[in-house]
Amino acid sequence: MLKLNKEMNIRKCADINEMGKKAGSMVITELKHNPKLLVCPATGSSPVSLYASLANEASKNMTLFQEMRVIPLDEWVGLPDATGSCDSFIKEHITTPLHVSKDRYFPFNTAAENLKEECERMQYILKKQGPIDLCILGLGQNGHLGFNEPANKTTPYCHIAQLATSSQQHDMVANSQTKPTMGLTLGMQDILLSKRIILLISGKGKKEAKEKLFSKEISPKCPASFLWNHKSVECFLVDD
Ligand code: GLP
């Protein structure tokens, strides 16, 4: 089990591979303790090496993952095909290599006609399956978590998010012809009710977000700052 922290435990890593191995071994320890772990994974570049280290473990010990459950953190709205979607990312990096069966994976349906109802459906799934045992987060360039964008107040539950400009320019959708302006995301309370949180910070354009986060001032202008209120956050940091 990850130990309970009085505040965020920050570990500097030499590179993304070291970050992936260290964070990956934490996930593996958690899974050994609770095989039915409900994991909420971020997408993006920061967690790729963590998921690779889980895939490597699965190639040696597949049974470890046979009960693990996955609920995504967020999803783009309006991508014309699967390319760049969080769902396709999770299938490629998590559910396929770890053999997570369909009954243990709960993706967003962005093709739903009524996205508000889709958010309610996800909230219901989270209520039934949750709370999240282990939430794996990345830090947005603007300090967002999932698609909880900087604002005057936080939104507690799953909601439709108007994406900030930096989110609309994220690498995941850089090659997509359609540029999403909206996303679906679990809310800040959903995230903060997670029993454990791993925050992975790497990549370009994060200087300002890191300064805001590490100033420890808690503000909805930097959603990640709310992690200071959580008692078990492990932060892995690669200074680029
Ligand atoms: C994206 C995703 C987030 C992700 C974040 C950081 O907008 N929706 O879930 O954590 O940005 O991504 P990266 O790790 O690629 O910097």
54-66, pLDDT tens digit by residue? 999 999 999 999 9
Tell the residue nearest (CA) to atom 7 of ligand 1. Answer: 167
Give residue 12's identity as a one-letter amino acid code. K
Region 19-42 average pLDDT: 98
CA–CA gap between residue 8 and residue 6 (Å, rounded): 7
111-133, pLDDT tens digit by residue? 899 999 999 999 999 999 999 99
Cβ–ligand 1 distance for 203 under 6 Å, the answer yes
Average pLDDT, the chain: 94
Cβ–ligand 1 distance for 166 under 6 Å, the answer no
pLDDT value, residue 4: 46
Q: Would the pLDDT of 145 be above 70?
A: yes
pLDDT confidence of 3, banded at 50, 70, 90?
A: very low
Cβ–ligand 1 distance for 138 under 6 Å, the answer yes
Of the residues 93, 133, 142, 230, which is catalytic?
142
pLDDT value, residue 79: 83
Ligand 1 atom closest to Cα of residue 205: 16
205-216, pLDDT tens digit by residue? 999 999 999 999
Choosing from 16, 46, 166 the residue with most ligand 1 atoms within 8 A of its CB, the one to mutate for a pocket test is: 46
Q: Would the pLDDT of 15 be above 50?
A: yes
Q: Would the pLDDT of 98 be above 90?
A: yes
Ligand 1 atom closest to Cα of residue 46: 14
Active site residue 190: no
Residue 82 alpha carbon to ligand 1 centre in Å: 17
Cβ–ligand 1 distance for 109 under 6 Å, the answer no
Active site residue 229: no
Class of domain 2-238: alpha beta
190-239, pLDDT tens digit by residue? 999 999 999 999 999 999 999 999 999 999 999 999 999 999 999 999 98
Active site residue 103: no
Active site residue 87: no
Ligand 1 atom closest to Cα of residue 73: 9
Cβ–ligand 1 distance for 146 under 6 Å, the answer yes
Region 94-119 average pLDDT: 96
CB 107 within 8 A of CB 90: yes
175-189, pLDDT tens digit by residue? 888 889 999 999 999
pLDDT value, residue 82: 67
Structural domain boundaries in the chain: 2-238
